[in-house]
Amino acid sequence: MTDALQDTHSYMLELGRRARSVAATLALASTRQKNDALLAAAAHIDADRAHILAANLRDVEQAKARQLPTARIERLVLTDARIDGIIAGLRQVANLDDPVGAVDGMRTRPNGLKIGKMRVPLGVIGIIYESRPNVTADAAALCLKSGNACILRGGSEARESNAALAKCLYAGLRDAGLPESAVQVVETTDRAAVDTLVTMSDYVDVIIPRGGKGLIKRISEQARVPVIKHLDGNCHMYVDETADLALAEKVAINAKCYRYGICGALETLLIDVRVAERFLPVIAKAFAEREVSLRGCERSRAIVSGLEAATEDDWATEYLGPILAVRIVDGLDDAMAHINRYGSQHTDAIISTDINRIQHFMAGVDSSSVVANAPTCFADGFEYGLGAEIGISTGKLHARGPVGLEGLTSQKYIVFGQGQCRG
Amino acid sequence: MTDALQDTHSYMLELGRRARSVAATLALASTRQKNDALLAAAAHIDADRAHILAANLRDVEQAKARQLPTARIERLVLTDARIDGIIAGLRQVANLDDPVGAVDGMRTRPNGLKIGKMRVPLGVIGIIYESRPNVTADAAALCLKSGNACILRGGSEARESNAALAKCLYAGLRDAGLPESAVQVVETTDRAAVDTLVTMSDYVDVIIPRGGKGLIKRISEQARVPVIKHLDGNCHMYVDETADLALAEKVAINAKCYRYGICGALETLLIDVRVAERFLPVIAKAFAEREVSLRGCERSRAIVSGLEAATEDDWATEYLGPILAVRIVDGLDDAMAHINRYGSQHTDAIISTDINRIQHFMAGVDSSSVVANAPTCFADGFEYGLGAEIGISTGKLHARGPVGLEGLTSQKYIVFGQGQCRG
User: Both B211 and B347 in a single domain?
Assistant: no
- The length of chain B, given as a count of residues: 423
| A251 — pLDDT class (breaks 50, 70, 90) | very high
Report the residue of chain A nearest B411, measured CA to CA: A400
Q: Are A268 and A368 members of one domain? A: yes
Cβ contacts of residue A359 below 8 Å, gap of 6+? none
Residues A191 and A261 in one domain: no
Q: Output the DSSP codes for A311-331.
A: PHHHHT----SSEEEEEEESS
Do the Cβ atoms of A401 and B413 come within 8 Å? yes
DSSP track, A173-216: HHHTT--GGGEEE-----THHHHHHTT-TTT-SEEEEES-HHHH
Q: What is the pLDDT of residue B213?
A: 85
Domain of residue B286, CATH code: 3.40.309.10
Least confident window among A96-100, A398-402, B330-334: A398-402
Judge whether B366 is closer than 8 Å to chain A, CB to CB: yes
Say yes or no: A221 and A303 in one domain: no
The answer to whether position A396 is within a domain reads: no
Q: Is the pLDDT of residue B388 over 90?
A: no
**Res. B130 pLDDT band, cuts 50 70 90:** confident
Of A205, A336, A422, the CB nearest to B254: A422
Closest CA to A283 of A302, A269, A297: A269
Per the domain annotation, does B348 fall within a domain?
A: yes
pLDDT at position B7 is 92
Task: Return the number of other C-beta atoms located less than 10 Å from residue A245's C-beta.
Answer: 14
Query: Do A245 and A362 reside in the same domain of the chain?
Result: yes
My answer on whether B184 and B248 are in the same domain is no
Residues A243 and A149 occupy one common structural domain:
no
Task: Tell me, yes or no, if A316 comes closer than 8 A to chain B by beta carbon.
Answer: no
pLDDT digits (tens, 9 = 90+) for B144-178: 999 999 999 999 999 999 999 999 999 999 999 99
Whole-number Cα distances in Å, A184 to A38, A93, B73, B282: 15, 19, 52, 48
Closest by CA position to B235, among listed B116, B396, B371: B371
Same domain? For A156 and A100 the reply is yes
At residue A72, the 3 state secondary structure works out as helix
CB-CB neighbors (< 8 A) of A368 in chain B: 412-413
pLDDT value for B211: 84
Which residues is B251 bridged to in the sheet?
none
> Residue A163: inside a domain, yes or no?
yes
Residue B207 lies in a domain: yes
Q: Does B222 touch chain A (CB under 8 A)?
A: no
Assigned domain for B18 exists = yes
Nearest CA in chain B to A372: B416
Reported confidence tier of residue A213, pLDDT bands at 50, 70, 90: confident
Which residues span the domain enclosing B316?
235-383
What are the tens digits of pLDDT across the range A51-75?
A: 999 999 999 999 999 999 998 899 9
Together in a domain, B111 and B209:
yes
- Judge whether A254 and A375 are in contact, CB under 8 Å: yes
For residue A66, the domain's CATH number is 3.40.605.10
Which residues have a Cβ under 8 Å from the Cβ of B364 and sit 6 or more positions away?
A24, A27, A28, B336, B340
Residue B317, in any domain of the structure: yes
Q: What is the pLDDT of residue A63?
A: 95
Half-sphere exposure in the Cβ direction for A288 (13 Å, CA) = 11
Q: Is the CB of B24 less than 8 angstroms away from the CB of A364?
A: yes
Number of cross-chain residue pairs from A and B with Cβ atoms under 8 Å apart: 220
Residue A27 has pLDDT above 80, yes or no: yes
The model's confidence at residue B1, banded by pLDDT at 50, 70 and 90, is low
Same domain for A284 and A213: no
Q: How far apart are CA A154 and CA A210, in angstroms?
A: 10
Residue A277 has a pLDDT of: 98
- Residue A362: list chain B partners with CB under 8 A: 118, 414
- For residue B281, is pLDDT > 90? yes
**A279, burial (CB in 10 Å: exposed 0-12, middle 13-18, buried 19+):** buried
Q: What is the pLDDT of residues A102-115, one digit of tens each?
A: 999 999 999 999 99
Whether residue A370 lies within 8 A of chain B, CB to CB, comes out as yes
Which site among B146, B406, B415 would you substitute to test the A interface, given the most A Cβ atoms closer than 10 Å to its Cβ?
B415
Q: What are B220-278's pLDDT values in tens digits?
A: 888 989 999 888 899 999 999 999 999 999 999 999 999 999 999 999 999 999 999 99
Q: Does A192 map to a domain? A: yes
If contacts are CB pairs under 8 Å, which of residues 399-418 in chain A contact chain B?
Answer: 400-402, 410-418
- CA separation for the pair B239, B10 (Å, rounded): 55
Each residue of A159-173: pLDDT tens digit?
Answer: 999 999 999 999 999
Looking at the structure, tell me whether residues B378 and B355 fall in a common domain.
Answer: yes
Q: Name the residue type at position A327.
A: R
My answer on whether B14 and B148 are in the same domain is: yes
User: Which pLDDT score, from 0 to 100, does residue B249 have?
Assistant: 98
Q: Is the pLDDT of residue A231 over 90?
A: no
pLDDT band at A1 (very low <50, low <70, confident <90, very high): low
Is residue B221 in a domain?
yes
Mean pLDDT over all residues of chain A? Answer: 95
Average confidence (pLDDT) over B315-335: 97
Residues 179-218 of B with CB under 8 A from A: 205-206
Q: Which residues of A touch B247 (CB under 8 A)?
A: 418-419
- Cβ distance A422 to B340 less than 8 Å, yes or no, reads no
The stretch B340-345 carries a mean pLDDT of 95
Domain count, chain B: 2
pLDDT in tens, A258-307: 999 999 999 999 999 999 999 999 999 999 999 999 999 999 999 999 99
By the 8 A CB rule, do A293 and A308 touch?
A: yes
Note whether B223 and B253 are within 8 A (CB). Answer: no
- What is the C-alpha separation between A115 and A203, in angstroms, rounded? 29
CB B297 within 8 A of CB B324: no
What are the φ and ψ backbone dihedral angles of A293, each rounded to 5 degrees?
A: -95, 140
